[in-house]
Amino acid sequence: MGYNAVSFPNLGIGQIRLNPVAFKIGSIEVRWYAIIIVFGILAAYFVCSRLLHKFGVDKDDFLDCLIYTLPVAFIGARLTYVLGDLGSFHSFYDVIAVWNGGLAIYGGVIFAAASVIVICKIKKCEWLPILDVMAIGLLIGQTIGRWGNFVNIEVYGITTNLPWAMGIGYFGEGASELVHPLFLYESLWNLIGLILICGYMYLRKFKGEVFLWYIAWYGLGRGLMEPLRNPEYNLHLFGVRIMMVLALALFAAATVAVILLRRRHKGYIAEGTKPREQKEQESYEKQFDALSENKTEEQDEQDN
């Protein structure tokens, strides 16, 4: 619809004019959407890199996965969005114009998880702990990234007259519609999930549990919020809301998996899980100590 202003009239907040273009370099437009997404990725990396030792993940393994997974996840998210709404794309430019918005998070998560598994199989390292770390990064990225939708004035809900209803329209003409600020709901939902999961990670009983809780938490939130979504942003297959069905199915599957797997694992994972490089260093030190002890014993025998 090309709206360029938002407001919150029930809260006494008048129109705020929004320009999706942050600045230009010659004829190239740099959009707020892209800046916010990149900021979300950097914030996620900053936090996750400091949590690696708690999951026993080697930094080099994590970086290798990150380098390959980011573009794969990005392509997967865009591809899933395009396939879900083919009628809106009429040229190759439309398909690649991601700066105008249009990423399906589930496509990104599925492609990212598959990429991590493949890379870890090649490197012969554990992939479940990396998925756990990735889950925390996803929550951070989604919490921040949804504000890119705000700047683009997209991912809003159906009409409502709730106190926090968001007005969308053209600057100077007042609000054309009052809608649910769905982008805000999702951002807050992910922030709450991030807080809960970061607190819970010390109570995990098996590798991959944090990732499953992420799938369950996001699936529940997405499933509950999907009916509030503007039909313009709903992906349908045979008249069925694909994302709502997928979200609730993943919520149920992940929750059942966590319950069953926690029953099989009696003890908690130690907080001080050690990364591979530390384990190798300790192994070397043990071998050195053992060698020193043998030499000492041999020297004692000779002295006797």
**pLDDT, tens only, 100-153:** 667 778 888 899 999 999 999 999 999 999 999 999 999 999 999 999 989 999
Look at residues 151, 127, 2 and name the one whose alpha carbon lies nearest to residue 58. 127
Instruction: Give the percent of the chain with pLDDT over 70.
Output: 82
3-state secondary structure of 31: strand
Question: Would you say residue 282 lies in a domain?
Answer: no
Q: What does pLDDT average to over the chain?
A: 85
What average pLDDT does the segment 178-183 reach?
A: 94
Residue 177, Cβ density class (10 Å: 0-12 exposed, 13-18 middle, ≥19 buried): middle
**pLDDT, tens only, 27-50:** 888 889 889 999 999 999 999 999
Question: Would you say residue 157 lies in a domain?
Answer: yes
Question: What pLDDT was estimated at residue 34?
Answer: 87
Question: Would you say residue 160 lies in a domain?
Answer: yes
Number of domains in the chain: 1
Residue-number span of the structural domain to which 59 is assigned: 5-273
Question: What pLDDT was estimated at residue 201?
Answer: 86
Q: Range with the lowest mean pLDDT among 72-86, 198-212, 224-238?
A: 224-238
Question: What pLDDT was estimated at residue 270?
Answer: 60
Cβ atoms within 10 Å, residue 71: 11
Question: Would you say residue 287 lies in a domain?
Answer: no
**Whole-prediction pTM:** 0.82
What average pLDDT does the segment 274-283 reach?
A: 57
Question: Would you say residue 289 lies in a domain?
Answer: no
Residues 6+ apart with CB under 8 A from 30: 21, 22, 23, 24
Question: Would you say residue 209 lies in a domain?
Answer: yes
Question: Would you say residue 298 lies in a domain?
Answer: no
**pLDDT, tens only, 212-260:** 999 999 999 999 998 898 776 666 666 667 778 889 999 999 999 999 9
What average pLDDT does the segment 40-65 reach?
A: 93
Question: Would you say residue 284 lies in a domain?
Answer: no
Contact 115, 65 (CB under 8 A): yes
Contact 153, 168 (CB under 8 A): yes
